[in-house]
Structure 1
């Protein structure tokens, strides 16, 4: 189903549903390999496994902290848009979460997609009828960047119920890449969360709960004011508090102050509290699955 009609003012609170793609039922475009993080339980073991790049881990993440703000959208950019607003953006991102889940794409693809959408909307006026087109074109770009086997253009046309043609998707892809000067390499909240999870030695349930928090934040426009590392650190902090997890501290791994983490964690807590009754349910439904340990079913009192 197309969400173009749902982005009109009188339908902002509708939840768009996506059509089951024939291709997504028969093959997975990507494989989520994040659980490989938990095959070893201590930092000291990282140096024995080349997958973890233990010898270079600190240098890599120091560099990611230094560069994380280079390609971030400007908070408050929506003021330049005349035809769309924050609620329409939230509807689009919620729908993209569903598409991402249906296509079984790797986690990084979702975060890069949202980054591309926001950076493009920051610089270009988009009419409401083309907002979904920007979304699928951004996901196409992210898939080509992150996935081993990316979905084909016809899959994205199909998932929009043929609201757009393949030519329109390609043209928009070209416009987005030119607008962003082909700069796509940027560290995501998920990448920082992976590092923090290993440092804190949390279990898979806690990691998936933290993933739930950072994906809830993706849908919320107001979280653009926080750096990716801040959201990841705040998600870890809140996860430890809620699950009463006595894991290791992040103090030596994050560049964010305690005050910055607590402020962001407070906003995350508010989003988590209203998740059950929130109009947009794609993230919550995703994390109700057994694959994610059904963390969205946890009854939280904050």
Structure 2
């Protein structure tokens, strides 16, 4: 009975809040109104057999909803009291610009043990999606639909200023859930927002509320729908929510890669973030371990910035555990994504990284092919001493 009364109060509060918002909208100029987005087009197959979002659809979230009350540091577990304009922009971007020894995953003598543990954890079957779940489990969801959903979730994360860790965990939950549960396309967006809700609770200091995720779908789903799907995801994943993601390893590999530079290269970090988020869109990357994708991201980032130099070295090989040859397949997929040879219809990540705060890294040009010699073993490139 108490639960029913509480639900009634929530409903009444939501109704009052919605009425107040509508009144405010009527006072604003018509041109300033924003449009909320629902992925209805996922349900409508185009004549070519593909699905896509309408060109003019954009996310719209009112200022009161998209501004989180808590100020937070980008790195998990560290909150600062003082905040300059530059550090605020870094936090909003979701990119780690200051990876020094105070990072708990970079703590000197323990770093090797930490990453060996994380590498073993990422290989556990319970934390890995099936590499071919769309073929074996799903009957009504395609790789293109998955890409559209994740591309939209990138926009949602931007609108709510969520940490990049939240986005990567969200995609991990989606892939793991779809590996064991067949769903229809009408519920795919519901799975997406419910997974982001869980990831937000896990990573964020002040996560968005359930009604925020209903609002962002233009109220296609009710709060009860989202909460029910949230419970289904948690039960399906057996509450194993804290698995390492690509971002976990990208932090370490980026720091090692920067040792070749005289000063910290923000461009390298932003480019790594761009390529890493592009990889989330492509179903072909699901089969790779997060650490391998992170290593491939660093390989391609260094190649893009300095194509005349070999992008891999002994330090990166030693700390990542991967030789250049191990990265070839993943690097080629990432390079095709970067060159818009695959997934070119998905634009959210590209538009995000066109912004000046990300150094416009999505506009950087890169050679059309990666030389085969760059995938040779490091030892074979070293001349024997005479």
CA 1:105/1:38 → structure 2, altered by over 3 Å: closer, same or farther?
A: closer
* Cα contact 1:15–1:279 (8 A) shared by 2: no
Displacement, 1:88?
0.7
Corresponding position of 2:304: 242
More RCO (CA 8 Å, sep 6+): 1
Residue 359 of structure 2 corresponds to residue 293 of structure 1: yes
Describe how 1:210-249 pairs up with structure 2 within 5 A. 210-244=272-306, 249=315
Residue 43 of structure 2 corresponds to residue 7 of structure 1: yes
TM-score (norm 2): 0.72
1:194-244 CA-partner distances (Å, limit 9, x unpaired): 100111225111111011111101000110111111111011111111111
* Cα contact 2:166–2:204 (8 A) shared by 1: yes
SS for the counterpart of 1:250 is helix
Displacement, 1:15?
5.0
Residue 216 of structure 2 corresponds to residue 159 of structure 1: yes
1:149-198 CA-partner distances (Å, limit 9, x unpaired): 00000100000000000000000000110011001111111111110011
Aligned partner (choices 29, 52, 60) of residue 20 of structure 1: 60
CA 1:121/1:37 → structure 2, altered by over 3 Å: closer, same or farther?
A: closer
SS for the counterpart of 1:213 is helix
* Cα contact 1:196–1:233 (8 A) shared by 2: yes
Aligned partner (choices 33, 36, 53) of residue 107 of structure 2: 53
CA 1:124/1:277 → structure 2, altered by over 3 Å: closer, same or farther?
A: closer
Describe how 1:118-129 pairs up with structure 2 within 5 A. 118-129=175-186
Displacement, 1:98?
0.6
Alignment partners' CA distance in 1, 2:66 and 2:183: 32
Corresponding position of 1:206: 268
- Structure 1 range deviating more: 196-205 or 86-95: 196-205
Alignment partners' CA distance in 1, 2:98 and 2:189: 39
SS for the counterpart of 1:206 is helix
CA 1:30/1:173 → structure 2, altered by over 3 Å: closer, same or farther?
A: farther
1:2-44 CA-partner distances (Å, limit 9, x unpaired): 103433222603357443222444336774625695547xxxx
SS for the counterpart of 2:195 is helix
Displacement, 1:122?
1.0
TM-score (norm 1): 0.90
Alignment partners' CA distance in 2, 1:132 and 1:37: 29
Alignment partners' CA distance in 2, 1:277 and 1:230: 21
Displacement, 1:147?
0.5
Corresponding position of 1:72: 128
Q: CA RMSD in A?
A: 2.3
Alignment partners' CA distance in 2, 1:194 and 1:50: 10
SS for the counterpart of 1:81 is coil
1:98-130 CA-partner distances (Å, limit 9, x unpaired): 101111001100000000011111111111111
Alignment partners' CA distance in 2, 1:112 and 1:30: 21
CA 1:102/1:220 → structure 2, altered by over 3 Å: closer, same or farther?
A: same
Mark the runs of 5 or more structure 1 residues left unpaired by the alignment.
none
Corresponding position of 1:270: 336
SS for the counterpart of 1:74 is coil
Mark the runs of 5 or more structure 2 residues left unpaired by the alignment.
1-36, 76-89, 259-263, 369-386
CA 1:162/1:272 → structure 2, altered by over 3 Å: closer, same or farther?
A: same
- Structure 1 range deviating more: 277-286 or 94-103: 277-286
Describe how 1:123-202 pairs up with structure 2 within 5 A. 123-201=180-258
1:260-284 CA-partner distances (Å, limit 9, x unpaired): 1122111111111017981110100
Alignment partners' CA distance in 1, 2:103 and 2:51: 48
